[in-house]
A = this chain, B = another copy of it.
Amino acid sequence: MAYKNDATGITEGREVTNGMILIDYKDRRPIYEQVIEKLQQMILCGALEPHSPMPSVRNLAMELSLNPNTIQRAYQALEHTGYIYTIKGKGSFVSELSAAADNKRREIEGELQKSIDKAMLSGITADELRQMVERCITASEREKL
């Protein structure tokens, strides 16, 4: 039995997120927030399937070279917002998508609202904003390759 992760990041019976989560130490946001965001995206885009086990707190901490407390904090936030659920002693598991997806939509729309409010207050017009958004969408689609 392999109790420690091997080079592929796969552990006995439990899929792990090898290489999918990269911490950016230049990012001003705290690490636990970056972990939250990456896991949310993996859940929402289907990389982690509903009811499949999340990596354990300690394993993910090892894998990312972080303290277990940091991962714990992220997991608790994910549970509070409906992305995962926990069974005592067994582990944390991916929730059904519906609730999580709605939360993410609200979160993104809130961010857009803030940016757009700032833009309007700074004298940027609605049409300018629409052009910007189209450029951003194009750039974002190009990145997906």
Interface of A toward B, CB cutoff 8 Å: 37, 40-41, 44-46, 101, 104-105, 108-109, 111-113, 115-124, 126, 128-130, 132-133, 135-137, 139-141, 143-144
Contact = CB atoms under 8 A, between A and B. Distances in A.
A113 B126 contact: no
A139 B121 CA distance: 13
A109 B135 contact: yes
A117 to B, nearest CB: 5
A139 B112 CA distance: 11
B132 A120 contact: no
Contacts of A108: 115, 118-119, 122, 124, 132
A101 B123 CA distance: 9
Contact of A124 (B105, B117, B124, B144): B105
A106 B45 CA distance: 29
15 contacts: A37-B118, A41-B122, A44-B122, A46-B123, A101-B122, A101-B123, A108-B115, A108-B118, A108-B124, A112-B133, A116-B137, A116-B140, A126-B137, A129-B133, A130-B133
